[in-house]
């Protein structure tokens, strides 16, 4: 985004310069009585609109610069990006190819949200198993000290004293629980089913996200290629118009209009490349790129 902002600043600067030339040309024609005030005002309006776009770009670049400083663990106040090197890097026009060969099963071990959903299912299954275990009798063995007694921990059974033992053995039977254990089991079972449904929904959503990102990446790549071809054609047309103007077959306003059109196409191409880059990052995120199995 920082590089996009610099490239957009350069395009807007060229646009303002070209509109300035066109304004002087139209003003000259107006002074000569060959144009009206509407033509002059139309050019002035375009210039003001472009300058309004320029006012926010510096603030946007500063915001991206501070974000990069925070991400790299540096102090934002003293962090500065090398603008010339950033412009020369041409990151947006040299993007890597989209990942291929990915299988749906790979998402299960790569995406943190799916791994968290799977862990939740395992946790709920363990809770259900623990709840069902409450139906079973519980045994406990206690080691006594200086009591000389061996006992079954049940009020219905008599105590056996005088054994001189240092341990005791207990049994608990879940006979009169008023349905509390079954209610707890039902609740845990419902929680497990909910976790399973959430896990299934997360998988389907992840698969849909990956598919959508791939489809969008393909469409954006085709759009970028088409716009790049349009820019090349417009630049050839601009060169031809300049030659015709040199030999007196075209007026200056025609040449400047073609140049402005070329700048508009270049702006659209820049926007398409940014969208391509952002979607590529989202695609890597969708397939779990950047996360290892030990996340």
Domains defined for the chain, CATH in brackets: 2-116+188-286 (1.20.1600.10), 134-185 (no CATH)
What's the CA gap between 280 and 217, in Å, rounded?
Answer: 7
Give residue 258's pLDDT: 95
Task: Determine the average pLDDT of the residues in 33-40.
Answer: 88
Paired tokens of 269: 């191409």
Q: What percent of the chain has pLDDT over 70?
A: 81
Query: In percent, how much of the chain has pLDDT > 90?
Result: 38
User: Under DSSP, is residue 142 helix (H, G, I), strand (E, B) or coil?
Assistant: strand
pLDDT of residue 158: 46
Residue 181: pLDDT above 80?
no
| The pLDDT value given to residue 145 | 52
pLDDT at position 238: 94
Q: Tens digit of pLDDT for each residue in 115-129? A: 899 999 999 889 888
- Secondary structure of the chain in the HEC alphabet? CHHHHHHHHHHHHHHHHHHHHHHHHHHHHHHCCCCCHHHHHHHHHHHHHHHHHHHHHHHHHHHHHHHHHHHCCCCHHHCCCCHHHHHHHCCCCCCCCCCCCCCHHHHHHCCHHHHHHHHHHHHHHHHHHHHHHHHCCEEEEEECCCCCEECCCCCCCCCEECCCCCEEEEEECCCCCCCHHHHHHHHHHHHHHHHHHHHHHHHHHHHHHHHHHHHHHHHHHHHHHHHHHHHHHHHHHHHHHHHHHHCCCCCHHHHHHHHHHHHHHHHHHHHHHHHHHHHHHHHHHHCCCCCCCCC
Query: What's the pLDDT score for residue 143?
Result: 53
- The pTM of this model reads 0.73
Instruction: Give the mean model confidence (pLDDT) for residues 209-215.
Output: 91
What pLDDT was estimated at residue 175? Answer: 54
- Band (pLDDT 50/70/90 cuts) for residue 76 is confident
Averaged pLDDT for residues 201-230: 93
Note the pLDDT of residue 293. Answer: 47
Question: What's residue 242's pLDDT?
Answer: 92
Which of the pair, 292 or 85, is modelled with greater confidence?
85
pLDDT-derived band at 171 (thresholds 50, 70, 90) equals low
* pLDDT over 50 (residue 292): no
Give the pLDDT mean for 31-37: 87
Higher pLDDT, 47 or 105: 47
Tell me, what's the pLDDT at 91? Answer: 79
């Amino acid at each position: 985004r920082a590089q996009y902002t610099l490239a957009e600043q350069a395009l807007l600067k060229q646009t303002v310069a070209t509109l300035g030339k066109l304004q002087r040309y139209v003003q000259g024609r107006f002074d000569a009585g060959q144009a009206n005030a509407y033509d002059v005002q139309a050019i002035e309006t375009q210039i003001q609109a472009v300058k309004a776009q320029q006012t926010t770009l510096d603030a946007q670049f500063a915001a991206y610069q501070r974000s990069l400083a925070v991400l790299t663990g540096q102090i934002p106040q003293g962090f500065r990006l090398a603008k010339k090197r950033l412009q020369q890097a041409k990151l947006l026009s040299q993007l890597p190819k989209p990942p291929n060969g990915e299988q749906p099963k790979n998402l299960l071990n790569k995406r943190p949200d799916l791994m968290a959903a799977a862990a939740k299912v395992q946790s709920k299954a363990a809770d259900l198993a623990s709840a069902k275990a409450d139906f079973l009798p519980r045994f406990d063995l206690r080691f006594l000290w200086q009591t000389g007694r061996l006992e079954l921990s049940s009020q219905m059974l008599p105590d056996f004293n005088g054994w001189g033992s240092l341990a005791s053995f207990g049994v608990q039977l879940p006979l009169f629980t008023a349905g509390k254990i079954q209610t707890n089991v039902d609740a845990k079972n419902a929680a497990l089913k909910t976790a399973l449904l959430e896990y299934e929904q997360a998988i389907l959503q992840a698969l849909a996200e990956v598919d959508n990102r791939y489809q969008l990446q393909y469409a954006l790549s085709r759009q970028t290629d088409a716009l790049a071809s349009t820019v090349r054609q417009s630049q050839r047309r601009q060169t031809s118009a300049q030659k015709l103007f040199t030999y007196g077959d075209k007026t200056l306003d025609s040449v400047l209009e073609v140049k402005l059109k070329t700048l508009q196409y270049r702006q659209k191409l820049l926007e398409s490349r940014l969208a391509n880059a952002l979607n590529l990052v989202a695609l890597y995120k969708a397939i779990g790129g950047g996360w290892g199995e030990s996340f």
